[in-house]
């Protein structure tokens, strides 16, 4: 049995080498036992003296480990750099002194993180809003109330001060801030339904999320089929009761209707080709669908109560040109 315990005192982990890793290199064994960290990162920690067995520091990544060995792995907290303002164009749907609603473009990461230190929505907001941007979300997420995946387009509300941030965050928590998404999915689900499955980190593929995994959090998605394209695909509207990472993508995949274009959870390529061929698409039309470069997901509506004025507010955004083109091709399916 693999034993892993969090050690809050030193920002690290205590791991016990299981029988099936007996004799394995230290860095490889830790990569198996600590999947949230890359082998390169773990090797650097070893060489820096952050991995110990009792009082002994293990500095050689190639050291073979024995079953039952207890290791302490100290992971120093990362020091976050303060995001800098960047002049990145924003499609602003509404703005006042307390908040703004934006229509996010595809390819824009919401906040800085590993691999995306710059060029994010936060950098753009810092440039646009200056010193007024709320800091409640933390230094890396100022003003951010909720997020969209990098390649998902559509509406987001951003707080410009602390009062607005608290009010909007409370509405997100009690579900009075509501969002509607449009998605193009493979095949045709039941006309309407609710997917009620907890979502958590995939146990084997850390870049993915999964349903019904240990430590998963409650997640519920309502969906309704708006239009079907032969037997190949459907346009659905999704409403969230929660806001888990990749929620719509994971839930629709869980009921066997993954999103068109989804690089993580999508349908196998040969199955896509088969559905499109049966639908009567020409090779040129099929290529447009098969090569769609992102998940076909757009946040088309957002509604909330203004946290300062108390006014009910609602905004809609038409799908971007790439999804419009995809829909026009889908319309020709028989």
Which residues are annotated as catalytic? 149
Alpha carbon 214 to its chain's center: 18
Q: What is the three-state SS of 278-325?
A: HCCCCHHHHHHHHCCCCCCEEEEEEEEECCCCCCEEEEECCCCHHHHH
User: Residue 64, Cβ neighbours under 10 Å: how many?
Assistant: 13
Is residue 157 within 8 A of residue 304, CB to CB? The reply is yes
Torsion over CA: 134, 135, 137, 140 (sign): positive
Q: Is 143 exposed, middle or buried (0-12, 13-18, 19+ CB in 10 A)?
A: buried
Q: Which long-range contacts (CB under 8 A, 24 or more apart) does 209-213 make?
A: 209/244, 209/245, 209/246, 209/250, 210/250, 211/250, 211/251, 211/254
H or E stretch covering 129: helix 121-129
CA distance 132 to 119: 20
33 Cβ contact list (under 8 Å, min separation 6): 2, 4, 15, 17, 21
């Amino acid at each position: 049995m693999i034993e892993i315990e969090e050690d809050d005192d030193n920002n690290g982990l205590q791991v016990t080498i299981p029988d099936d890793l007996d004799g394995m290199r230290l860095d490889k064994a830790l990569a198996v036992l600590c999947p949230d960290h890359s082998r390169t990162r773990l090797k650097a920690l070893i060489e820096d003296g952050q991995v110990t067995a009792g009082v002994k520091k293990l500095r050689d990544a190639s050291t073979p480990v024995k079953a039952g060995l207890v290791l302490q792995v100290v992971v120093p907290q990362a020091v976050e750099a303060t995001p800098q303002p960047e002049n990145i164009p924003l499609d602003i749907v509404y703005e006042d002194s307390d908040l703004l609603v934006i229509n996010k473009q595809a390819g824009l990461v919401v906040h800085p993180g590993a691999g995306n230190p710059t060029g994010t929505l936060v950098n753009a907001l810092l440039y646009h809003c200056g010193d007024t941007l709320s800091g409640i979300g933390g230094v890396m997420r100022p003003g951010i109330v909720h997020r969209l995946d990098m390649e998902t387009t559509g509406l987001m509300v951003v707080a410009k001060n602390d009062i607005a941030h608290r009010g909007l965050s409370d509405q997100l928590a009690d579900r009075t801030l509501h969002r509607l998404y449009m998605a193009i999915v493979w095949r045709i689900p039941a006309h309407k339904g609710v997917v009620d499955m907890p979502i958590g980190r995939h146990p084997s593929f850390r870049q993915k999320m999964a349903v019904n995994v240990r430590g998963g959090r409650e997640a519920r998605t309502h969906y309704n089929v708006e239009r079907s394209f032969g037997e190949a695909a459907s346009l659905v509207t999704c409403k969230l009761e929660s806001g888990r990472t990749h929620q719509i993508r994971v839930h629709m995949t869980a009921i066997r209707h993954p999103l068109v274009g989804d690089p993580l959870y999508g349908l196998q390529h040969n199955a896509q080709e088969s559905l499109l061929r049966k639908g009567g698409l020409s090779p040129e039309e099929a290529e447009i669908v098969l090569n769609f470069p992102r998940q076909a997901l757009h946040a088309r509506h957002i509604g909330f109560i203004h946290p300062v004025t108390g006014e009910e507010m609602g905004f809609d955004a038409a799908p971007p040109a790439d999804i419009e083109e995809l829909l026009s091709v889908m319309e020709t399916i028989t």
